[in-house]
Structure 1
Amino acid sequence: MFRALVVEDQNLMRLALMEQIQASFSDCVVLGAETLELATRELQNDDFDLVVIDPGLPGFDPTAQADRLAVVDKIIETSPSAIHVVVTGSDSSSEADEFRRVGAAGYLGKTGLEPGVFADVLEDISTNGFSMRLSRVAMKIPDYRYSGLTPREQEIIDMMTRRERGMKRTQIYELMADRLAIDAGTAERYYKQARAKLMRRGHTLPKGL
């Protein structure tokens, strides 16, 4: 079973990252830790395959590079066999290089993280040794969340509303099928079910749905 630890002090972001990992791996256990002390204790008591780290933890100055490096370095030192991925809201390529030098295998900006990103990041790491994804800031439409949809229905609605100009629905079905190990016809059924639910409830659908 794949085991992951998310070290993040902001509750909503921690839960979101934990959900991202759950969505990326079919058989996993994900723990969350708010402080370096709690994370260190868990890492000493158990082995993890993946450790996701926000370097701006309580007790450290999130604007001081020395403190950010100290957080990441301590966690890597405590869990040398894990894969370490830094996730931060103040990302830069120069900081990514610094964390790579102390042993981090991945570096992600928080803005614009897509569903399934951790599976893609681990594949990048396996192929290239390091994965860097800086924040995507060119957001053109707002995110939508609807009550009453299943997680897979919500995911395909997200993918459909964010698709690039000229990208066909059939391409989205194929992308979702690859990500979830299902066939494209099943992905299409999730989409049609979700769209029908939204229309029955009288929602104004985003452009493209």
Structure 2
Amino acid sequence: MRRALVIEDQDLMRQALIVELKESLGDCIIAGAQTFALAHRALTDDLFDLVLIDPGLPGFDPTSSEERLKVIEAIVQAAPSAIHIVITGSDNDKEAVACRELGVSAYLGKTGFSRGGLGNVLDQVARDEFSLRYSKANAQFTELHISGLTPRESRITELMMQRRPGERRKDVFARMAEELRIEPASAERYFKQARAKLMRSGRLPRGL
């Protein structure tokens, strides 16, 4: 069973990363830490296969390159056998290079990092490739979240409502399958489940 640690002080972001990891890793145990002290204690008490790091932690100046790298280096040294992934909202070329030199396997910008993207990053890391993805604010659609639907039902509903002219449903199922690393038939099943729930509640959006 693989073990992962998510070091992130923002509750919503930490929970979102944990959900992504659960879907990507399968059978796993995931711990979350909001501060450097909690992270260091967790790394001292346990062995982790994967560590996600946001270097802008409380108690450190998030605008100081020196302090950010100090956080990353200390965590890498505390878990030398783990895979380390830095995910930050203040990504830049210089820091990405420095992280790679410290032994980090991936450097990711938060802005524009889509759901399902972490699984693709892990696949790249598994091939011994350094994964580098900078922030990009190029969203073309608003996100859709409907109460009563599971995260996957909500995602396929969102993708279906964002269909481009001429795009077929099976193309959308294929896109979701690639994003979440599931079979297209599973994506279709999630869509049918979501549609049935929305029809029963009388909240079926236009276009579904």
TM norm structure 2: 0.89
Is the CA contact (8 Å cut-off) linking 1:24 and 1:115 kept in structure 2? no
Moved more, 38-47 or 66-75: 38-47
Alignment match, 1:49: 49
- Whole-angstrom distance in 2 between the partners of 1:104 and 1:162: 35
Moved more, 103-112 or 162-171: 162-171
Residues in 1 aligned to 2:21 and 2:130: alpha-carbon distance in whole angstroms = 18
Per the alignment, residue 88 of structure 1 pairs with: 88
Indicate the SS of the match to 2:115. coil
How far is 1:103 from its partner? 1.3
Which whole-Å deviations, capped at 9, do the CAs of 1:40-70 have from their partners, x for residues lacking one? Answer: 1111111111100000001100000000000
- TM-score normalised to structure 1 length: 0.88
Shift of 1:176: 3.7
Q: Which stretch shifts more, 160-169 or 103-112?
A: 160-169
Question: What displacement does 1:129 show?
Answer: 2.3
For 1:154, the equivalent position in structure 2 comes to 154
Structure 2 counterpart of 1:116: 116
Task: Mark the runs of 5 or more structure 1 residues left unpaired by the alignment.
Answer: none
Counterpart CA distance in 2 for 1:61 and 1:181 is 37
Q: Which of 115-124 and 62-71 deviates more?
A: 115-124
Q: Which amino acid aligns with 1:84?
A: H
> How far does residue 205 in structure 1 lie from its aligned partner after superposition?
2.9
SS at match of 1:195: helix
Point out where structure 2 has 5 or more consecutive residues left out of the alignment. none
Q: Distance in 1 between matches of 2:57 and 2:94?
A: 20
Structure 1 counterpart of 2:56, one-letter code: G
The alpha-carbon deviation at position 166 of structure 1 amounts to: 5.6
> Structure 2 matches for 1:51-70, cutoff 5 A?
51-70=51-70
Q: Deviations over 1:120-170 (max 9, x none)?
A: 112112225210111231111111111111232123224434566665321
Question: Structure 1 residues 17, 180: closer, same or farther in 2, change over 3 A?
Answer: closer
Letter in 1 for 2:23: A
Percent of pairs with identical residues: 49
Distance 1:202 1:15, change over 3 A: same
Aligned to 1:186: 186
1:136 aligned residue: 136
**Alpha-carbon separation, structure 2, partners of 1:50 and 1:147:** 32
SS at match of 1:32: strand
2:151 alignment partner AA: P
Matches within 5 A, 1:32-43: 32-43=32-43
**C-alpha deviation, 1:73, in angstroms:** 0.4
3-state SS in 1 of match to 2:127: helix
